[in-house]
Amino acid sequence: MLLFVAPVYADEHGEYVAPRGPDGVHPDLNGIWQAMNEANWDVELHMARPSLGLREGPFGPVPDLATMQMGAVASVPPGLGVIKGGGKIPYLPEALEKRDENRANWAERDPEVKCYLPGVPRATYMPQPFQIFQGEKEIEIVYQFAGANRNVYAEDPGPAPVDSWMGQSVASWDGDTLVLTVTAQNDQTWLDRSGNHHSDQMTVVERYTPMSPNHLWYEATIEDPKTFSEPWTVAMPLYRRMEPNAMLLDFKCVEFVEELMYGEWRRNPLPR
């Protein structure tokens, strides 16, 4: 039996040192990666719960049974949260009220339900893989969900001419950590399925640090003075997909939402 073991590099302190990338200077981050957590359901610490919202009952909010026909499939798995320090999102009061309203109407409002591009940082921790393509000077990140992608600038071109779903990403390096500064995202994306939101003033600073041959440490610091009282950070490991034939596959979710988005204009409505 032939066993292949990937080489592991360490410095004089025994700390992992990643192989150099195509430019011979910076670490090689090429690969297909995926988060293994519950952040896409809720970035905060949370218990398991039904996910399809609440309605107002005679004694307060109660689960909307009409939307729970999928049973456990539509539930939120419990999660320890990914906010650095274990705290809660530091919302401003009006923004917190909007979060609660979003959460109560999740099935109608979540951009993911409608196959809109997920934005940053949410694209990183959706339950689907993404791929980093790193060349000598260029970096591109491609996501399986909806075929989203980010062309990363090696030099800052100045303010983006318009806001967009995935924003404008500019790369720099802090030692072996890839730093991406993301601006010019529109205010339509959410941070998870729990209604956590932001404004068009959000700036995200991402940090990708190789920790072993098969995992990166990811942090994203979010600053948005219109929504949050102070910057806050999500942090998590990202794992390399290890299948011998690992690749991104098609997930053209637009076709899955056509009836949801446009069915009301069908000449002959489908039976419900």
> How much of the chain, in percent, has pLDDT values that exceed 70?
84
pLDDT band at residue 53 under the 50/70/90 scheme: low
Which burial class, exposed, middle or buried, applies to 236 when counting CB atoms under 10 A from its CB (0-12, 13-18, 19+)? buried
- Would you say residue 50 lies in a domain? yes
pLDDT value, residue 6: 47
Q: Is the pLDDT of residue 2 over 50?
A: no
In angstroms, the CA 246 to CA 30 distance is 13
pLDDT value, residue 59: 41
What radius of gyration, in Å, describes the C-alpha atoms of the chain? Answer: 20
Beta strand 168-174 with 149-153 is parallel
Residue at 238: amino acid letter: L
The helix or strand, by DSSP H or E, that contains position 260, with its residue range, turns out to be helix 254-262
Q: Is the pLDDT of residue 143 over 90?
A: yes
pLDDT band at residue 8 under the 50/70/90 scheme: low
- Would you say residue 187 lies in a domain? yes
- Would you say residue 3 lies in a domain? no
- Would you say residue 43 lies in a domain? yes
- Would you say residue 101 lies in a domain? yes
- Would you say residue 5 lies in a domain? no
Q: Is the pLDDT of residue 167 over 90?
A: yes
Question: Would you call 264 helix, strand, or coil by DSSP?
Answer: helix
pLDDT tens digits for range 230-268: 999 999 999 999 999 999 999 988 888 777 776 666 667
Q: Is the pLDDT of residue 58 over 50?
A: no
In angstroms, the CA 182 to CA 195 distance is 21
Domain membership of residue 205 as a residue range: 31-262
- Would you say residue 143 lies in a domain? yes
pLDDT tens digits for range 190-221: 999 999 999 999 999 999 999 999 999 999 99
- Would you say residue 17 lies in a domain? no
Assessment of whether the complete model's pTM goes beyond 0.85:
yes
Average pLDDT for the chain: 88
How many independent structural domains does the chain possess?
1
Site of tokens 């980010």: 150
pLDDT tens digits for range 66-93: 444 567 777 899 999 999 999 999 999 9
